[in-house]
Amino acid sequence: MPPGAPPAARAPVRHGHALRWVLGGAAVLCAAGLAAAGALWWWLPDDEALARRLGDGAGDWLGVPVTVDRLQWQLLPMPRVVLHGVHTEQEAPISADRIVAEARWSDLLHRRLALSLLRLEGAAIPQLSLSQFKVRKAEEDGPAGFGPFTLADVPVAHAEWQGVRWIGRQGRDLAYGGSVDFDPGWRPRTGLLEREGASPPARLAIAREGGQDAWRADVTAGGRTEAGRLRLQQIGSRYRITGEVDFSGVDVVGLMGAFERRSIVAGRASGHTDLIAEGADPAEAAQALQTRTRFTVDRAKLLTFDLEAAVRSAGREHGGTTQLDSLAGIVRTEADAGGTIVRYSDLKATSGALTATGDAVVQNRRVGGHAAVDLVDGIVGVPLEFGGTVSDPTLSLPPAALAGAAVGTAVAPGVGTALGARIGETVRRIFGGGEKQEPPAPRRLPPVRRDSD
């Protein structure tokens, strides 16, 4: 009831008199609202000052200077802020063309800090620049960190992004899109992450299983979609993420091509992948991701190596291709400050009369490893070392094996070269340090079948 209106206990008055009170009260409220709006408009800084203030606040929170080129905001029909040209002041800046944030009046009126929508468009995220952030945690500011607001149980209900480019340590630029809907505690209810423009498609779609910290994960890559599972555990003050997926018939060339990597092997892979990550929070855990994959590739083909030529030339000639009867092994990946480490172990490839076993380590596109190649019906094993880069690998005999190969060639070209190399490397391992390695067991194999290509 407007101020000054007759109390209910008074005698009824004429309808016209009551209507005047209502209209008068409404007029007073409207005038007060306009005055308040005018005062608010006069008090609030302009868009440029707001953009500068927001950039300063973000820079203080991230530990690096942040600039916001332009800001737009509105209150109706819903509170909405749009940021244009956001970028950090770094040698390789993290930037975003446009960031949109929307809220609900119901949350703001109850002094809850929550976003109904957060959208990121046209962003560039250099991996090396992230390491320069010194993010200040919200709890360091105490209750005053959010002013008169309290953080809602679901601070962000829905987030989506498109054209977000992840720039790796070696400069590889890959665009991603996706979305996520959150439950309380920052638990994703559903989520999608995909490589934009990849063919065949490469994406990960997750869906929470009830209220559990477990998710179904559908992985699409290499022309196949496989169902896996993810789990989140809280152990004391730390978080652990685990997951697994079985796969079959995955096109290796298509899988690598989706991430703009050139595969050295063609074929369809089958196997099983496990992953584990642990950290003080889910984000830190994701940065410590480790995976282990056991795989087999039927009718595989080496696209850049001719194994037989490498063996018979003591590593001097290895360009070409090799059709393999089979390829199997284990791949482990490990997050590292210097770049992801990829370890290959228990590698075994067969091609007609050749059988190769070995191991390798790849980091920042640098590769190093060892291999032993059996030939001549499995009675001779030739050791090989490889290095260089993924795009330009080198292959050679170890020094002691090379000396042995020279002696063997003088005695009997061809077989003598291989036999001498094996003897020379064995002598080095026994008398010159290093682990002793038993030669592969002899086996009868069919004649060499050279690739028709």
Cβ count within 10 A of residue 149: 14
392 pLDDT band, cuts 50/70/90, is confident
Condensed to tens digits (0 to 9), the pLDDT of residues 355-389 reads 888 899 988 888 888 888 776 444 456 777 878 88
What letter represents residue 130's amino acid?
Answer: L
Q: State how far the Cα of 316 lies from the Cα of 307, in Å rounded to an integer.
A: 11
3-class secondary-structure state, position 64: coil
For the chain, the domains span 44-135+149-197, 304-453
Question: Do 219 and 226 meet the contact criterion of CB atoms below 8 Å apart?
Answer: yes
* Average predicted confidence (pLDDT) for the chain: 77
pLDDT higher at 277 or 34: 277
CA distances from 63 to 66, 133, 337, 377 (A): 9, 6, 19, 64
Q: State how far the Cα of 247 lies from the Cα of 199, in Å rounded to an integer.
A: 19
CA distances from 435 to 427, 430, 431, 453 (A): 11, 8, 10, 38
How much is the pLDDT for 452? 47
Range with top average pLDDT, 224-233, 304-313, 351-360? 224-233
Q: Hey, what are 19's tokens?
A: 């209507």
What letter represents residue 428's amino acid?
Answer: R
Q: State how far the Cα of 359 lies from the Cα of 348, in Å rounded to an integer.
A: 9
52 pLDDT band, cuts 50/70/90, is confident
Closest-CA residue to 355 (of 317, 382, 330, 319): 382
Condensed to tens digits (0 to 9), the pLDDT of residues 228-253 reads 999 999 888 899 999 999 999 999 99
Mean pLDDT of 26-53: 57
Beta pairing partners, 257: none
**In which region does residue 15 sit, left (phi positive, over 0), alpha (psi from -120 to 50) or beta (all else)?**
alpha
216 pLDDT band, cuts 50/70/90, is very high
Strands (E), 255-352: 265-279, 290-302, 322-323, 326-334, 341-351
Cα-Cα end-to-end distance for the chain: 92
